[in-house]
């Protein structure tokens, strides 16, 4: 029919029996004439047999269509077909074949983002499996589902149940899978020494059975377990694992591989390589639409790297894109936590609190140390911004007990720094408000937990800053100590932490009448914070300048901690830079681009920081040297290349 209304009018005149007969005729015709294995045709066949009311033909058609869609990574469509197949088979006899369909349906639900449905289907499948080895395989899969859902305790329980079921079972393939899962669980809980041993056993078992994907999974675990404590070359181990995998079939392990590769590289201070790994991994998950499901851990790692490098606008854009796609489950927790951290860093206390509330229900069941740490850091920051110092202290103290078993010095160092910062702020607040001293027993206890050994750049910076915060609790910190901490953060390329330390340095220098040093430190702190949009630091610097009557020296350029790269500019910033190159003032830029003059000034400051230049003349020279010239881009609304996450 040329028009849908005409079709509906004709169909409305048919009796139900006639409609069912026509649907059956179409389904039969499609089965005879359609190209073998064509996904769209298989879907249509399933639809027509279902409309025909022929359950005996509709059920296998729905299963076939679901498998075809899943093979082509159309997970939502696959889940739709399997859901219909399960409705048609309700009341069917409990058999292993039915369990197999339930497992396939669970995979479709999980990959489409409905983890809760996947968990329910796997539990149903267990009722149809008398074989212990098959049950162990399902429990291993349940452990993965629970971890993705953020329920770490249930995940470990499922893995433990899988291991117990293997006792007396003779299935080497299932044994290899379960051993790899056990090693992964130990690594997640930062029991690195145990994870190394367990991963070795899993690799040996997988190689014996020829299970390449299981071997790669265990190699990824091994890579993280040796890289974080610094006992081996984890990067090469993970890269070897990725080289073993089929890029179109092993998507779950590929996502895990890239996520952990970026994590290990970032932890080791190899920021450029971490950015490359994130770009490559995101291309995989975006190609298959997995950013908010199986690839959510990789996406959250990308956001964390952007945040640490001070690329707040790109981080915010990535999180907004992911969290605006509808209801999310499981690992959306990490995305909400990253967004809360970003909002807190920019002084948006109410928005940060809303993101924490969104993460609240998901956070209750997790015992993943890194997720727990992220939650504590953000919660403490928000409580400090709200002025709830005692609550912030209680939150941090509770986290020390919760993470007492961790083997990761990086986690302990970050906990110590935030705990001592909370204590220092609490002591300072009590003194300012009432001129009284408060107990510092908690600070003394936390200071004794600061890791003593040398580590990666970020961990060293955390430990150095934690010790200076401990001195601040006793009001014994110095400008020199804060300056040394700032240099550690400069080497680690962490602009927010650098700005914070420079602010503290300026405060101490001003107290001791070191005017020049105070002015320089305050200037860099403000320049960095303004570029990031960290309003709390900007306001603190402005208040210090007014209170100590500090001059406003010209920017030193030392605040730039990233190399000049035009790709770091947003589309709007490229348009602003084009107008700067033509000599436009902030007012003229605002008029041309329909923005306030103050907004234009903020864009210009951000551009100067990102390009590593001191003034508009140098920025204009940079604009005219790029190919194609950025200066020409304000004339038309060209589509700029999408900014892939890279540090």
| Sign of the alpha-carbon dihedral angle for 373, 374, 379, 385 | positive
Residues 6+ apart with CB under 8 A from 18: none
Predicted pLDDT of residue 627: 39
The C-alpha atoms of residue 292 and residue 258 are separated, in whole angstroms, by: 15
Mean pLDDT of 202-216: 91
Mean pLDDT of the chain: 81
Helix-helix angle 586-593:571-581, to 10 degrees: 130
The Cα 582–Cα 230 span in angstroms is 51
Q: Which two tokens stand for residue 8?
A: 């509906």
DSSP string, 302-339: HHHHHHHTT-HHHHHHHHHHHHTSS---TTHHHHHHHH
Ramachandran area for residue 190 (φ above 0: left; ψ -120 to 50: alpha; else beta): left
Quickly count: other Cβ atoms within 10 Å of residue 405's Cβ: 9
DSSP 198-246: HHHHHHHHHHHHT-HHHHHHHHHHHHHHHHTTTSS-HHHHHHHHHHHS-
Say if residues 255 and 297 touch (Cβ distance below 8 Å): yes
Q: What is the mean pLDDT of residues 354-381?
A: 78
- Over residues 382-401, the mean pLDDT reads 89
Q: CA–CA separation, 396 vs 616, rounded Å?
A: 45
**pLDDT band of 364, cuts 50, 70, 90:** low
Report long-range pairs for 598-605 (Cβ below 8 Å, ≥24 apart).
600/576, 602/530, 603/572, 603/573, 603/576, 604/576, 604/580, 605/527, 605/530, 605/531
Of 174-178, 339-343, 589-593, the range with the lowest mean pLDDT is 589-593
Q: Answer whether residue 421 shows pLDDT above 90.
A: yes
> What pLDDT shows up at residue 463?
93
CB 607 within 8 A of CB 619: yes
| pLDDT score for 97 | 78
What does the block give as tokens for 382? 């928000």
Residues in the chain: 647
Question: Which has the closest alpha carbon to 154: 146, 164, 145, 163?
Answer: 146
Rounded Cα gap, residues 621 and 628, in angstroms? 13
C-beta separation of 484 from 466 below 8 A:
no
More confident residue, 90 or 132: 132
CA-closest candidate to residue 131, choices 95, 181, 103, 92: 95
Give the span between the Cα atoms of 69 and 578, in whole angstroms. 47
Instruction: Give the C-alpha separation, 446 to 463, whole Å.
Output: 12
Mean pLDDT along residues 113-141: 87
Q: Which of 492, 525, 569 is nearest to 308 (CA)?
A: 492
The band of 428, judged by pLDDT with boundaries at 50, 70 and 90, is confident
Residue range 62-118, pLDDT digits in tens: 999 999 988 887 888 899 999 999 888 875 555 567 888 999 999 898 888 788 899
d(CA 104, CA 62): 12
Between 430 and 35, the higher pLDDT residue: 430
Task: Tell me which of 217 and 317 has the higher pLDDT.
Answer: 217
211 contacts: CB under 8 Å, gap ≥ 6: 173, 176, 177
Look at residue 137 in the predicted model and tell me its pLDDT: 87
Omega before 232 within 30 of 0, i.e. cis: no
First to last CA, the chain: 55
C-alpha to C-alpha distances, 516 to 460, 549, 553, nearest whole angstrom: 28, 12, 9
Residue 3: phi, psi to the nearest 5? Answer: -135, 140
Using the predicted structure, report yes or no on whether residue 553 has a pLDDT greater than 60. no
> How confident is residue 560, by pLDDT bands cut at 50, 70 and 90?
very low
Tell me which of 224-228, 318-322, 323-327, 593-597 is least confident. 323-327
- Which of the residue ranges 177-186, 227-236, 241-250, 391-400 would you say has the lowest mean pLDDT? 241-250
CB atoms within 10 A of CB 583: 10
Structure token pair of residue 79: 């889940």
pLDDT band at residue 361 under the 50/70/90 scheme: low
Separation CA 264–CA 270 (nearest Å): 9
Q: Is the model's pLDDT at 265 over the cut of 50?
A: yes
More confident residue, 591 or 546: 546
Cα–Cα dist 604/576, whole Å: 7
pLDDT at position 464: 94
Say which range, 344-358, 557-571, 622-636, has the weakest mean pLDDT: 622-636
- Long-range CB pairs of 512-518, under 8 A, 24+ apart, other chains included: 512/479, 514/479, 515/550, 515/551, 517/479, 518/479, 518/544, 518/548, 518/550
pLDDT for residue 54 is more than 70: yes
pLDDT classification of 196: cutoffs 50, 70, 90:
very high
Whole-model pTM: value is 0.66
pLDDT at 347: 87
- Interatomic CA distance for residues 96 and 103, integer angstroms: 10
Nearest Cα residue to 107 out of 97, 94, 122, 92: 122
Sign of CA dihedral 382, 384, 389, 393: positive
Residue 23 is predicted with a pLDDT of 92
């Amino acid at each position: 029919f040329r028009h849908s209304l005409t079709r509906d009018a004709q169909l409305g005149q048919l009796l139900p029996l006639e409609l069912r007969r026509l649907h059956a005729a179409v389904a039969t015709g499609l089965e005879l004439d359609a190209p073998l294995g064509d996904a769209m045709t298989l879907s249509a066949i399933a639809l027509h047999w279902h409309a025909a009311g022929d359950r005996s033909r509709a059920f296998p058609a729905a299963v076939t269509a679901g498998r075809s869609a899943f093979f082509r990574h159309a997970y939502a469509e696959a889940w739709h077909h399997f859901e219909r197949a399960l409705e048609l088979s309700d009341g069917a006899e409990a058999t292993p074949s039915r369990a197999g369909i339930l497992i396939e349906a669970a995979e479709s639900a999980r990959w489409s983002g409905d983890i809760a449905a996947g968990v329910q289907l796997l539990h149903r499948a267990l009722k149809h499996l008398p074989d212990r080895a098959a049950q162990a395989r399902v429990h291993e899969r349940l452990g993965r589902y629970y971890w993705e859902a953020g329920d770490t305790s249930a995940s470990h329980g499922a893995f433990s149940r899988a291991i117990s079921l293997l006792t007396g079972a003779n299935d080497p393939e299932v044994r290899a899978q379960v051993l790899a899962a056990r090693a992964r669980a130990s690594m997640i809980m930062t029991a690195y020494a145990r994870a190394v041993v367990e991963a070795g056993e899993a690799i040996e078992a997988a190689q014996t059975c020829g299970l390449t994907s299981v071997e790669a999974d265990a190699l990824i675990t091994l890579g993280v377990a040796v890289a974080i404590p610094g006992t081996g070359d984890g990067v090469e181990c993970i890269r070897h694992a990725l080289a073993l995998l089929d890029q179109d079939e092993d998507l779950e392990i590929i996502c895990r591989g890239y996520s952990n590769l970026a994590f290990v590289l970032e932890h080791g201070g190899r920021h450029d390589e971490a950015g490359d790994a994130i770009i490559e991994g995101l291309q995989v998950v975006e190609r298959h639409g997995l950013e908010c499901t199986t690839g959510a851990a990789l996406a959250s790692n990308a956001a964390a790297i952007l945040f640490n490098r001070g690329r707040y606008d790109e981080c915010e854009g990535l999180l907004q894109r992911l969290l605006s796609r509808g209801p999310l489950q499981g690992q959306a927790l990490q995305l909400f936590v990253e967004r809360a951290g970003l909002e807190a860093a920019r002084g948006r206390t109410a928005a940060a609190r809303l993101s924490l509330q969104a993460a609240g229900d998901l956070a209750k069941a997790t015992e993943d140390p890194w997720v727990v740490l992220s939650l504590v850091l953000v919660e403490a920051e928000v409580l400090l911004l709200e002025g709830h110092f005692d609550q912030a202290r209680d939150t941090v103290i509770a986290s020390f007990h919760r993470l007492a078993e961790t083997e990761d010095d990086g986690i302990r160092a970050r906990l110590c720094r935030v705990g001592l910062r909370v204590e220092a702020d609490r002591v300072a607040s009590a003194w300012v408000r009432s001129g009284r001293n408060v107990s510092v027993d908690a600070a003394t206890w936390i200071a004794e937990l600061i890791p003593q050994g040398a580590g990666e750049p970020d961990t060293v910076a955390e430990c150095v800053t934690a010790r200076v915060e401990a001195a601040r609790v006793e009001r014994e910190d110095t400008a020199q100590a804060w300056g040394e901490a700032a240099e550690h953060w400069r080497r680690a390329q962490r602009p927010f932490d650098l700005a914070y330390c420079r602010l503290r340095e300026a405060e101490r220098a001003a107290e001791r009448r070191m005017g020049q040093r105070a002015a320089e430190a305050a200037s860099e702190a403000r320049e960095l914070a303004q570029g990031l949009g960290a309003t709390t630091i900007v306001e603190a610097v402005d208040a210090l300048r007014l209170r100590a009557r500090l001059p406003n020296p010209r920017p030193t350029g030392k605040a730039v901690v990233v190399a000049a790269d035009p790709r770091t500019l947003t589309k709007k910033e490229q348009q602003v830079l084009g107008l700067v190159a033509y000599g436009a003032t902030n007012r003229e830029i605002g008029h041309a681009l329909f923005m306030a003059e103050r907004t234009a000034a903020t864009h210009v400051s951000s551009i100067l920081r990102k390009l590593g230049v001191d003034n508009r003349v140098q920025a204009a020279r940079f604009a005219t040297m790029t190919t194609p010239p950025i200066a020409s881009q304000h004339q038309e609304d060209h589509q700029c290349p999408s900014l892939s996450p890279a540090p």
